[in-house]
Structure 1
Amino acid sequence: MMNWRWAQYFLAVAAAVAPLLGVFFWGWNAREVVLLYWIENIIIGFWQLMKMGAVGVGKVKDVGWFFVPGMLFTMAFFTIHYGGFCAGHGVFVLEMTNSGVAGSGAEGIDMKGLKFYLGPLLFVQLLFMVVGQAWAALPVASIWSVAAIFAMRGLGFVQDFILTGDWKRAEFQKLMFEPYKSIIALHVAIVFGAGLTLAFKGAWPVLAIIVVGKLVMDFTQIRKQEIEQGN
């Protein structure tokens, strides 16, 4: 099996370049660094949906098209509960790092546009609102980090799920809750990092430590998958 693990390590480093340059040379603040890493939660959710879609294709081949409605319902349910989880955390991060706390000159999330008649879909709307505001707050250079993170996660999807044949064996129920373990750790790290930078008034050494710490987390996760796959 072709091993693209080296490319994941490379992309993890590439994802850290923009925030490191931002911290040292471009005056990035705590809000910008923290929101960049919050965006990764959305990327994780996207690739998790791709896993479900891959499993669904295999199931359709095995048991027929009657599996499709259940598959679509499960994917929609995942989008709502995972999206709601990330949206709630995003609101917390935006409020925690707003102008009154972080001195970033930005505002917290505006809830006035929420359509409460949407019911559970309210969480999806809230997620789009938070993503839009987070993206607007990010510096232009952060797009390179977002692209590197997206590619790194995508390579993990191919290397550890498609090429290993896990897409033929995985179960929808397990896939629904699989990302929570990793994103809860990421959420805790984000909140801790934000609190630390605020406590030290956004000092650049603290921001740099957060970026390097995130890189260590990525390396650890990639290495863990490497060991589990025996390559």
Structure 2
Amino acid sequence: MEPSGSLSRTTLRKLEMMCREVVDRSQGQLIDITIVCFGTNDLISYVSQRCSHLKCLKLGHCVLVSSKCLKVVAQNLKKLEELHLVIDEIPPEDIENIGTSCPQLKSFTYFSTNIDIVDEYAMAVARSMPNLHHLCLFGHRMTNKGLEAILDSCPRLESLDIRRCFNIDLPDNLRNRCSKQIKHLMRPNDPIYDPPWPFIINFVYELLYDPVYALKLYYFRPDYPVLRFY
């Protein structure tokens, strides 16, 4: 797969070398890392093999990172507590495998643009991430069924962001259950003036590389309120 946007191969390689040096200097003590736009399978594997104490991993628009790689990498990160992903085309079964491999996972974010998948991601989370405290499934197509599965299987859940999940209509019984079980709930139609990390990365990425598309997608769609950045 070719690198996306205007980042040249030389720039990508330099960024990867810098990241490797940071990992080496940490001497295995790195606990938090964020990689945006330049991640590769080799780099993520390198990090996982040398940072077994890693607790937080954020991958934003790493188009050269495959879901197969993530599934393998997760097996090395048994202490991972936070995982936030903007990676295209991760099958739900790989999300489930990742959750199973990371039993201490407390916070999970996945931004999906796959319009063909409905409740499968929610079910994958429900089956594999029982210790979640924070969950963001921003812009997914899940229904009330998927939401109920999450509520049933994640009893420690404190915050839930399901904004732009327009297949969820929250009938009174489900709305009441969410109010009782979730301390901080962001509903499908709640405003997005404070978009979550993966959404803002997605918007900035599109704005940099295809501004016309980004503005049409995020500003001028009738189901999206105007974004405000302060």
TM-score after normalising by structure 1: 0.24
Q: Which has the higher contact order (CA 8 A, sep 6+)?
A: 1
Task: Identify, as 1 or 2, the structure richer in helix.
Answer: 1
Higher strand share: 2
Scaled by the length of structure 2, the TM-score of the pair is 0.24
Bigger radius of gyration, 1 or 2? Answer: 1
